[in-house]
Amino acid sequence: MPADPLHSAGKPQRSTTSQPPSGSGASAIEVRRSARRRRTVSAYREGDRTVVLIPARMSEAEEKRWVTVMLDKLAAQESKRVLGDAELSERAERLSAQYFDGRARPTSVRWVTNQNTRWGSCTPSEGSIRLSHRLQGMPEYVVDYVLLHELAHLLVPGHGPRFWRLLEAYPRTERAKGYLEGVVAAERLPHAPGARDE
């Protein structure tokens, strides 16, 4: 099979730039293919751009899958830099402005350590929002979804159709719900004997 001139050693690697999925945090994604790279995939932030390095032989479907995986990995790493309560409040204010025209105005937004069976809670009469510390370290889009969920309760107290219509504005609602459902399901799995020793 003849060598692909775009991917042969010594030639510049092929690079493509695209817009990221909504809520990923970066303004553009640049995928760089390299013939020297055989199996590994890596990613890093470069200003407001995310650079994903992949092997040249990877198919477009594999590329799409790995870009999503690496964006989630980066987001999880960035979320490990724990936001303080003040930063969490600023984030809630920004999300309210972006998705609810600033109508949801909490009086307080903070992390709590006493919520082990729920991800967040809201007391509409007080305007207070509390997020479980278990969200710390999860991808940003998941934290944003939980914040938006609680902000929506400031506008609509129950979980009726009006409430879910509000959350339809956030493009990663279904994905975030799936992520959280996966975490809950994993916590319920029985641990195989000796699994901790591996």
Evaluate if residue 47 carries a pLDDT over 80: no
CA distance 197 to 193: 9
CA distance 14 to 30: 10
Evaluate if residue 23 carries a pLDDT over 80: no
Evaluate if residue 178 carries a pLDDT over 80: yes
For residue 132, the model assigns a pLDDT of 92
Residue 22 backbone dihedrals phi, psi, to 5 degrees: -55, 140
For residue 10, the model assigns a pLDDT of 37
CA distance 38 to 62: 14
For residue 80, the model assigns a pLDDT of 61
- Is the pTM of the predicted complex or chain greater than 0.85? no
Residue with the bigger pLDDT between 191 and 102: it is 102
Tens of pLDDT, residues 126-144:
999 999 988 987 888 899 9
Q: Which of 57-66, 83-92, 158-167 has the lowest mean pLDDT?
A: 83-92
Strand arrangement, sheet containing 28-34: 15-18, 28-34, 49-55, 42-46
Residue type, 21: P
Evaluate if residue 1 carries a pLDDT over 60: no
